[in-house]
Amino acid sequence: MNDTAPVRSYEAAAPTSRPGLPVVSLDRAHSPQKVLAHGELLRRFVEGGEIRPVHMRIGIMGACNMRCAFCNFHSPAEEQFYDLFSFKDVISTENAISLLREFAANEGRAVTFCGSGECTIHPGYPAVCDAGHEAGLRIGLITNGSRLGRPAMAECVASTHTWVRIGLNAGTEATFAEITRDREHTFASFLDNVGRLRQSAIDPDFRIGFNYVITERNHREIVAAARVAREAGAHYVRFEPEFYSALGHRTIEPVMDEITAALAGAAELAAPGFEVSVPKLDRGPMDRVEAVEGDFERCHYSRFVTAVGADGHLYPCPQVHLNSRYRIGNVIEDGYAGVLDGGPRAEWEASNPLRTDLCKSCFYRPQNELLELLRGGQVKLDDALGAYALEVPSTLHADFV
């Protein structure tokens, strides 16, 4: 970190884009400052005490029923990076249930189903979610949305989930089908399924929204997508730029002016009960470059959040899961606690004392910058906790750090 005078505000680590791009405006569900809702955990972290992750990101299978044009796991540009990815990987229902129960017994509070494949096509998904919910975990889901209208899946989501985020990625059904190769008329189903789940969900904090990956092929449908999301009854639409580990956002750089204007138009569609999330639009590649982004030296975020791939291995975060240089240990064979506390995680962290060449650009840069400012005393913990409590009296989905 730079040796500077103490910073007084926790907002010093808020995400920003370069001049000329839209001001970053994130919806409440995706605030990178949620860690400030965990005062006791932060105090242990700042004082150098041991903490365990409260949030697990997990992919229970590598298979998917779509082939999205922008998916990192299908891109020739990513074959070097996600070298452990396999469509055949799957965590069995029994093993997934055991893992979630063990995670909950070891200070775990929330689990997000995501990953390289589509978790909802796993035949045991409802049973896994039921078990996780019974163990006291809050459940989130990142999905392509194709199975949300099926009765068993809709009941599972309504009764056990805290939030759902669906890949929208187009403003018209034709473009959606073209870039996802969808064969199940998923886009048309959004107009019925989203509102129905919003009304039927049991969790009082339930949120359902859309994620839109901006690419060269869909950037002209940004405003149309925001309209679809609002008409479907979503709580929000969240935009993010296309990203490849080796390319960063260079794929969309030539059309950034058009994207900027379109995002401004989408933001105008925000209304009570419907948020439009405008992201940080510029970010460099993770590897094959010399420049390092972010004013932090170590990955602290992986102390609070961890990731498990469909290969059954623990990784420090979902950005680098299924990369052999970040594989920590097999939580299915050796148990979650055995990997976390029995040596493998400590050994991995000792071998990677600073950010490695694969983490030159970090998706969780705001969280890591804030944590390092707190750890180093540039932001005083009590001041940050007090200011955050005044500004955000109740943190939405706090356990999904």
What is the extent of the structural domain holding 81? 53-361
Res 342: pLDDT: 76
396 falls within a domain: no
Distance CA 74, CA 72 (A): 5
β-pair partners for 113? 58, 141
Res 347: pLDDT: 83
Res 1: pLDDT: 47
400 falls within a domain: no
29 falls within a domain: no
User: What predicted TM-score, i.e. pTM, was given to this entire model?
Assistant: 0.95
Which residue ranges in the chain fall short of pLDDT 50?
1-2
Characterize the bridge pairing of strands 138-143 and 161-167. parallel
Task: Give SS3 for 307.
Answer: strand
Number of compact structural domains in the chain: 1
Distance CA 339, CA 347 (A): 10
Res 358: pLDDT: 65
Res 353: pLDDT: 55
Backbone conformation region of residue 23, classed left if phi is above 0, alpha if psi is from -120 to 50, else beta: beta
Structure-token match 């030159």, residue found? 360
7 falls within a domain: no
Q: Which two tokens stand for residue 7?
A: 């910073």
Kindly state the DSSP code that residue 299 receives in the 8-state scheme.
-
Q: Which two tokens stand for residue 285?
A: 């590649």
119 falls within a domain: yes
Res 64: pLDDT: 96
Residue 114 is part of a domain; what is its CATH number? 3.20.20.70
Residue 232 CA from chain centroid, whole number:
22
Please return the burial class of 268, using the count of CB atoms within 10 Å of its CB with bins 0-12, 13-18 and 19+.
Answer: exposed
9 falls within a domain: no
3 falls within a domain: no
Q: Which two tokens stand for residue 249?
A: 């956002």
Res 396: pLDDT: 98
The answer to whether residues 194 and 232 touch, using CB atoms and an 8 Å cutoff, is yes
The answer to whether residues 205 and 400 touch, using CB atoms and an 8 Å cutoff, is no
Backbone conformation region of residue 115, classed left if phi is above 0, alpha if psi is from -120 to 50, else beta: left
Whole-number Cα distances in Å, 172 to 27, 69, 163, 222: 23, 16, 24, 10
14 falls within a domain: no
Distance CA 266, CA 225 (A): 8
Element at 368 (helix H, strand E): helix 365-376
Alpha helices in 87-235 (DSSP H): 93-105, 125-134, 151-160, 173-180, 186-200, 222-232
